[in-house]
Amino acid sequence: MKKILVIDNRDSFVYNIVEYLRRMPEVEVQVVCDDGKTSLPCTDSFWGIVLSPGAGIPEEYVLMREVLEGRVRETMPVLGICLGMQAMVTVSGGRLRLLPAPRHGHPSRLCFCGDRPAMFASIPEGTQVGRYHSWVVDEASLPGCWNLVARDEEGNVMVVVRKDRPWTGLQFHPESIMSPQGFDMLQAWVRTLPSPE
């Protein structure tokens, strides 16, 4: 079984992500809530980590930052969704900017602009995705360790992939009903996970 750790940043979408993962027969999921009381478990046996969406800004969450600041092996695949992606970029030196208006329950189109990871190999240009956020990565501040993979139709950063680690960030929610190919994306990510042994 592929054990996946989901860091729950207290968002209403977290268990939609968990449900998608549990639909995959090869996956075993463990959820840890970043409630200020729970410690990060030993991650040696996990195949990958998902950083969930959440309200606020990355600095407000402890466990997610522990994952990104060195508490796990550098070869650990990490998938950051919405807030999770923002944490990935800010930990590596990038900045966020506030959108002129929130994008909560907002459908957008993916516009690919770089080499696609396997997660997106079968996803067509212009695929609809659902967005629920007020902050976005400031592209001008994106550190050189990241590849920009996709923007939305307004030019906002939607997908980034780290060059030196197996980290992928999604600004949109693949688990949303407005992301009709979101399950396929998550399944493709799971298929790429190497054994931790």
pTM given for the model: 0.97
Can you tell me the mean pLDDT for 46-75?
93
Q: Which residue in the list 19, 60, 175, 197 is annotated as catalytic?
A: 175
Q: At a CB cut-off of 8 Å and minimum separation 6, what does 68 contact?
A: 51, 78, 87, 88, 91
Determine what percent of the chain is predicted with pLDDT higher than 90.
91
Q: What is residue 150's three-state secondary structure?
A: strand
What does the alpha-carbon distance between residue 103 and residue 92 come to, in Å, rounded to a whole number? 25
Q: Which residue in the list 19, 82, 145, 154 is annotated as catalytic?
A: 82
> Above 90 in pLDDT, residue 70?
no
**For the chain, which domains are there?**
2-191 (3.40.50.880)
Report pLDDT digits (tens) over 6-55.
Answer: 999 998 889 999 999 999 999 999 999 998 889 999 999 999 999 999 99
Q: At what angle do helices 14-22 and 182-191 cross, to 10 degrees?
A: 60
Q: 197 versus 152: which is more confidently predicted?
A: 152
Contacts 24+ apart (CB under 8 A), 94-98: 94/137, 94/138, 94/141, 94/142, 94/143, 94/146, 95/137, 95/138, 95/141, 96/57, 96/135, 96/136, 96/137, 96/138, 97/135, 97/136, 97/137, 97/138, 98/134, 98/135
175 annotated active-site: yes
Token digits for 149? 């993979």
Confidence tier at 114 by pLDDT (50, 70, 90)? confident
173 annotated active-site: yes
Token digits for 101? 């208006």
145 annotated active-site: no
Report pLDDT digits (tens) over 79-95.
Answer: 999 999 999 999 999 99
Note the pLDDT of residue 197.
74
CB atoms within 10 A of CB 158: 27
